[in-house]
Structure 1
């Protein structure tokens, strides 16, 4: 098992997502890879537009369950959430339909979309880490991604 991609089986990945959904996922597992992997799994379970509606409340609830405040400085970030839902949905659409589930997720997490500075190709730090971007959708201020946003 690797730190960058911690899942060895499809079941480990789906269990991770299920624990997020029931708010029992340990905070130590809510890493960057954990975020991306859960979104990848959820986009295989639900339509993209449904996730855009439910993810804000799910993440806020998860944060509260793990004693992470949702403030203007930490916790839920609306622009990051919506950006990654759109980006990961695009990544999935670009995969071969017969691509193995776990292999696809591993490629997401370990590839360019999984880089921690991925969004900085599209956003300045000032814009991305602003209170406005945390509270509401903010369009990219540097480059427009190849995938549809809003």
Structure 2
């Protein structure tokens, strides 16, 4: 596993800005970090129950990527399996953290094993996780 030194958030408002910037496609590309992915997803799970993330999150991310000049191809951009793994992690974390304030929840997630960039590699071989099949559709883990 890699060294884990996450950039933490200073406030719930900073997290909301990332989440709403994702939705509006106004978040600067340089700010779309791993931490921002998890913060935005936590914000969406906690504060935007009006969005069906299972159905809508893939297009939200794809649209955002394209709005900042990115592409969604077999080798770059949106990754279905990684998104699914981290969405499940965020949902489990939200349940475990109960009624804690948004910033405290996000920072606790970023400091936890689930918040690590390489966390999906606990369940997937590198070859399977970074395959075209896993990028374009959800694939089951190959590690137990």
Per the TM superposition, whether the score is higher than 0.5 is yes
Kept after mapping to 1: 8 A contact 2:79/2:136: yes
Quote the Cα distance in structure 1 between the aligned partners of 2:114 and 2:124.
Answer: 14
Aligned ranges 1:1-150 → 2 under 5 Å: 4-47=6-49, 50-95=52-97, 97-143=98-144
- Equivalenced residue count is 140
Kept after mapping to 2: 8 A contact 1:60/1:75: yes
SS of structure 1 residue aligned to 2:52 = helix
User: Which runs of 4 or more aligned residues in structure 1 lie more than 6 Å from their structure 2 counterparts after TM superposition?
Assistant: none
Kept after mapping to 1: 8 A contact 2:21/2:27: yes
Quote the Cα distance in structure 2 between the aligned partners of 1:87 and 1:139.
Answer: 15
Quote the Cα distance in structure 1 between the aligned partners of 2:99 and 2:78.
Answer: 34
Structure 1, unmatched stretches of 5+, are 144-150
TM-score normalised per structure 2 = 0.91
Question: CA offset at residue 12 of structure 1?
Answer: 1.1
Kept after mapping to 2: 8 A contact 1:32/1:116: yes
Structure number with the bigger relative contact order (C-alpha 8 A, sep ≥ 6) is 2
Structure 2, unmatched stretches of 5+, are none
CA RMSD in angstroms comes to 1.7
SS of structure 2 residue aligned to 1:28 = helix
Quote the Cα distance in structure 1 between the aligned partners of 2:74 and 2:130.
Answer: 10
Quote the Cα distance in structure 1 between the aligned partners of 2:49 and 2:79.
Answer: 21
